[in-house]
Amino acid sequence: MAKDPGRVLIFDTTLRDGEQSPGASLNLEEKLAIAQQLARLGVDVIEAGFPFASHGDFTAVQKIAEVVGGEEGPIICGLSRASKADIKSCAEAIGPAPRKRIHTFIATSDIHLEHKLRKSRADILEIVPEMVQYAKNLVDDVEFSCEDAARSDPDFLYQVIQLAIKAGAGTINIPDTVGYTTPSEFGGLIIGINKNVSNIDEAILSVHGHNDLGLAVANFLEAIKNGARQVECTINGIGERAGNAALEELVMGLHVRRRYFNPFFGREPDSPTPLTAIRTEEITKTSRLVSNLTGMIVQPNKAIVGANAFAHESGIHQDGVLKNRLTYEIVDAKTIGLSDNKISLGKLSGRSAVRARLEELGYDLSREDLNDAFARFKDLADRKREITDRDLEAIVSEQVQQPEAFFQLRLVQVSCGTTLKPTATVSLIDQDGTEKTAVSLGTGPVDAVVRALDSLVDIPNELIEFSVKSVTEGIDALGEVTIRLRHENKLFSGHSADTDVVVAAAQAYVNALNRLKSIKGKYGLPLQVDSVNSAQTSKSI
């Protein structure tokens, strides 16, 4: 049986696999803000990126290793293919962290071997021990993944795992790379590994999986019942294609049903010891931060963190909940940090009240950032009577999200209505300080604004998503706008909040353009590909 740390280790890959979601690219400050929040959430491991993929990834992993990885903090992990150049770059990037891990991988399924890597099984049996050993010489903690394990021949998989452990891998990860398996099959695979790999007791078994059939979380729970003790997951389940297993669903599944899961850990059903080290009250905040910064909107009916997850619409349900919440609620909203606290910050609140509330919400801002947040707060308080926690979060996450300001929005003015053709006037200041103004007609006010901005920036793109949602209830609520645009086949998102949704749309669009410019300029360096598994590129794992 594989090693059992006595609970489930949470390996968060929001910043690596999650960032592989189309359009979710994050800048350095955003990655850092998410990593800091993941540390507050209490994850065991942060997979901070894929250092060899680009200079941007390398720098972000290194910065996270420097700032977030403490002696008591999460392990900072970097991904690398099973090649020396990848592994070396990964070791350098995670270097500053006191607790660090190299996660190296190679595919083991015949489909991947034949069509992607063009390698034989014998090649893999040679590469794996050599590369794991190479990584082990650079850091103590090495994880090895058999990519596409769920579609690999189990007997071959057992051989590969055996060699990886012998070469020093302390964690063996079993990915369902294409989201193909089912719960009983995946549980069976974990049983098979435990039974047929003779040195499996020297490693922790981990699982990783995608949600192509909507089964990732169910597959993981079955794997846990059969001895998996690390789960690789992302906040809000974001990730490649249909995403990864959602951290909040796994954690809350284990928490709410601990009586059911406890015996699989050799505990009494009633044992109160948590099955993960996650501070569940941080879940809502983390979910919102990731959604705001990546521009990946959480569907309203999403389990645990969707806007409707705690809403009761039918009269029968409302009646039941009023009599006793247990009739229709299995999770207490407070457990995930969803408070119905109405705080009374308003126009007259001072800087220290705002700072205190932000600190209670977990935002520890520098003096400069606090000044900026306070100025935004004052501006909002002039337009909105009561400022809620959600408003404050919207203010701060927009602030964190500011990419380098290549363009600054200076003015937005729109005329529209039943008898008017929507017309927008916008002014932008570009990087050298020149102010430019344009006027445009459009099918609606937002279309007019976007057309006017486009005529000023001359960056060919296609607007592919525009969504508005209200931050809180009430006619004076902040409107949060998320925009995604496509440029040279890549998606870029922008986010903004304002009581005027047209202004929020204009700012979100400018933010998306700034992000496009900063990511292209700073992070868009070509991927260096080496000889070992060169058919693979960084963002198409």
What is the binding site for ligand KIV (CB under 6 A)?
17, 105, 145, 147, 173, 175, 177, 208, 210, 541
- String of contacts with Zn ion for each residue 148-167, x by CB under 5 A: --------------------
Angle among Cα 132, 135, 137 to the nearest 5 degrees reads 110
CB-nearer residue toward ligand KIV: 82 or 409: 82
Sign of CA dihedral 363, 368, 370, 374: negative
Work out how close the CB of 33 gets to Zn ion at its nearest, in angstroms, rounded to a whole number.
23
Out of ligand KIV, Zn ion, none, which partner does residue 147 contact, by CB within 5 to 8 A per kind? ligand KIV
Beta carbon of residue 407, minimum distance to ligand KIV (angstroms, whole number)? 35
The site partner of 517 among Zn ion, ligand KIV, none (C-beta below 5 to 8 Å per kind) is none
Return the one option of Zn ion, ligand KIV, none that residue 288 interacts with (CB less than 5 to 8 A, by type).
Answer: none
Asked whether the beta carbons of 502 and 449 are under 8 A apart, the reply is yes
Of 69 and 237, nearer to Zn ion (C-beta) is 237
Helix axes 247-256, 216-225, angle to 10 degrees: 50
- The distance of closest approach from Cβ of residue 139 to ligand KIV in the complex, given in angstroms and rounded to an integer, is 18
Q: How far apart are CA 238 and CA 234, in angstroms?
A: 6
Name the residue nearer to Zn ion (CB basis): 207 or 456.
Answer: 207
- Least distance from ligand KIV to the Cβ atom of residue 232, Å: 7
Both tokens of residue 342? 């109405």
* Minimum distance of Zn ion from residue 102's CB (angstroms): 17
Please check whether residue 82 is in contact with residue 105, taking contact to mean a CB–CB distance below 8 angstroms.
yes
Decide which of Zn ion, ligand KIV, none touches 145; Cβ closer than 5 to 8 Å per partner kind: ligand KIV
Report the residue number, 21 or 177, with the smaller CB distance to ligand KIV.
177
In the complex, the smallest distance separating the C-beta of residue 208 from ligand KIV, rounded to whole angstroms, is 5
Q: 81 vs 495, which CB is nearer to ligand KIV?
A: 81
Q: Select from Zn ion, ligand KIV, none the partner in contact with residue 105, using the beta carbon and a kind-dependent cut-off of 5 to 8 Å.
A: ligand KIV
CB neighbours of residue 430 within 10 Å: 14
Three-class secondary structure of residue 145 per DSSP? strand
Min dist. Cβ of residue 73 to ligand KIV (A):
23
Cβ 157 to ligand KIV, closest distance in Å? 13
Q: Quick check: 190 and 228 in contact, CB under 8 A? A: yes
- Name the CA radius of gyration of the chain, rounded: 24
According to CB under 5 A, which one of 12, 17, 44, 141 is a site residue for Zn ion? Answer: 17
State the minimum distance, in angstroms, from the CB of residue 177 to Zn ion. Answer: 6
HEC letters along 468-527: EEECCCCCCCCEEEEEEEEECCEEEEEEEEECCHHHHHHHHHHHHHHHHHHHHHHHCCCC
> What kind and span of H or E run contains 111?
helix 110-111
The dihedral sign for the CA sequence 172, 177, 181, 182: positive
By CB under 5 A, the count of residues binding Zn ion is 1
* Element spanning 462, H or E: strand 462-470
User: Judged by CB, which is closer to Zn ion: 17, or 30?
Assistant: 17
CB of 145 to ligand KIV, least distance (A): 4
Residue (27 or 538) nearer to ligand KIV, CB: 538
- For ligand KIV, the closer CB: 173 or 401: 173
The smaller minimum CB distance to ligand KIV, of residues 236 and 280, is found at: 236
Among the listed ranges 13-21, 276-284, 288-296, 412-420, the one in contact with Zn ion (CB under 5 A) is: 13-21
> What element of type H or E holds 32?
helix 28-41
Which residue is nearest to Zn ion, using beta carbons?
17
Asked whether position 12 contacts Zn ion by CB under 5 A, the answer is no
Interacting residues of 361 by C-beta distance below 8 A, sequence separation 6+:
285, 389, 392, 393
> CB under 5 to 8 A by kind: which of ligand KIV, Zn ion, none does 276 bind?
none
Task: Select the binding partner of residue 442 from ligand KIV, Zn ion, none (C-beta < 5 to 8 A, by kind).
Answer: none
Between 12 and 17, name the residue whose CB sits nearer to Zn ion.
Answer: 17
Tokens 């049986």, residue?
1
493 binds, among ligand KIV, Zn ion, none (CB under 5 to 8 A by kind): none
Cα distances (angstroms) measured from residue 162 to each of 3, 106, 172, 295, 492: 14, 15, 10, 41, 42
Q: Which CB atom, from 232 or from 389, has the smaller least distance to ligand KIV?
A: 232
Report the b/e string of 96-129 with b at 16+ CB within 10 A.
bbebbbbbbbbbbbeebbeebbebeeeebeebbb
- What letter does residue 150 receive in the DSSP assignment? G
Min separation Cβ 216 and Zn ion, Å: 10
DSSP class per residue in 369-438: HHHHHHHHHHHHHTT-S-B-HHHHHHHHHHHHH----SSEEEEEEEEEETTEEEEEEEEEE-TTS-EEEE
Positions touching Zn ion (CB under 5 A) are 17
